[in-house]
Amino acid sequence: MLSKNTIKYINSLKISKFRNEHCAFIVEGTKSVSELLQSSTEVLALYATETWIAQNPVPTTALHVVTDSEMNRISSLSSPPGILAVAKIPDFQQQHYTSKGNFGLVLDGINDPGNLGTIIRSADWFGLRNIIISKDTVDPYHPKVVQSTMGSIFRIQFLETDLEEFLTNARSAGTKVFGAVMEGSNVYTTNLTNVSALLVIGSESHGIRKPLLKCIDTMITIPRIRLEGNQSAESLNAAVAGSLLLAEFMRGQLIK
């Protein structure tokens, strides 16, 4: 049985402030928990319902058996999948940049958890190992972000920092900064093969914030195909746009 305090503690982790205070976050679902258990991320506690245990190979990690009603009280999902873990937020203070080809992804104020999660998943697919995020980007350990990364959250390191300072320093060190905007050079005809490059992506509604634009060397855009006499989409979904641009930067490695 779960104590009131445990239920309260797990529920507090749905809020950013308490995740930071406890250095812990929630992971739900068979696929995500299985990825967690295979990762180097520390598991603090594991909760499963009897129904889940009856249908799945039981992990070797110590498991708390909870009732369906208890699971409903700790889950963030409307249909709880029956398995929930509390994991430790990794300490990235000592991180160093290990992404392939010295390419870095910078996210400025992405506020939709699903979009952030999907971008993290694409970054993982394309071999990135860290992402630089602005302080007002949604917390990567938000339950909905974790959910939509489908396990990629455990393979990516995050550096939350002041982007103006970060980009200024990067440029001084010779890194070329690209920014995704509505009216920039066609990404498909721009030379992206740089020794060291950063790609900045802003939020779907506001784009890259104005003060950051001066830190950008080349503005790039995914061109739109307009049909004669027809209106067309005003923008792409932020996660889609981010993934399309990411693929272009990785193209040199993808055609090998």
Q: Which residues are near a second copy by CB under 8 A?
A: 35, 38-39, 98, 100, 114, 118, 121-122, 124-127, 129, 148, 150-152, 155, 186, 188-189, 222-227, 230-237, 239-240, 243-244, 247, 250-251, 253-255
How far is it, in rounded angstroms, from Cα 81 to Cα 98?
A: 34
In Å, how far are 31, 70, 103, 242 from 165, measured between CA atoms?
Answer: 38, 46, 18, 22
- Residue (45 or 150) nearer to a second copy, CB: 150
How far is it, in rounded angstroms, from Cα 251 to Cα 245?
A: 10
Taking the complex as a whole, the smallest distance from the CB of residue 238 to a second copy amounts, in Å, to 10
Taking the complex as a whole, the smallest distance from the CB of residue 47 to a second copy amounts, in Å, to 24
Q: What are phi and psi of 81, to 5 degrees?
A: -75, -5
- Residue (32 or 134) nearer to a second copy, CB: 32
What is the identity of the amino acid at 195? V
Q: What are phi and psi of 137, to 5 degrees?
A: -70, 145
- Residue (7 or 37) nearer to a second copy, CB: 37
Taking the complex as a whole, the smallest distance from the CB of residue 235 to a second copy amounts, in Å, to 7
How far is it, in rounded angstroms, from Cα 116 to Cα 124?
A: 12
DSSP notation for 128-176: --EEEE-TTSPPTTSHHHHHHHTTGGGG-EEEE--HHHHHHHHHHTT-E
Long-range contacts of 251-256 (CB under 8 A, 24+ apart): 251/192, 252/101, 252/193, 253/100, 253/101, 253/127
Taking the complex as a whole, the smallest distance from the CB of residue 224 to a second copy amounts, in Å, to 5
Taking the complex as a whole, the smallest distance from the CB of residue 121 to a second copy amounts, in Å, to 5
How far is it, in rounded angstroms, from Cα 74 to Cα 88?
A: 17
- Residue (91 or 228) nearer to a second copy, CB: 228
Taking the complex as a whole, the smallest distance from the CB of residue 168 to a second copy amounts, in Å, to 29
Taking the complex as a whole, the smallest distance from the CB of residue 49 to a second copy amounts, in Å, to 22
- Residue (112 or 139) nearer to a second copy, CB: 112
- Residue (192 or 250) nearer to a second copy, CB: 250
Measured in whole angstroms, how far is the alpha carbon of residue 212 from the centre of its chain? 21
Angle at 235 between CA 233 and CA 238, to 5 degrees: 140
Q: Classify residue 114 by burial, with Cβ atoms within 10 Å: 0-12, 13-18, 19+.
A: middle
- Residue (92 or 125) nearer to a second copy, CB: 125
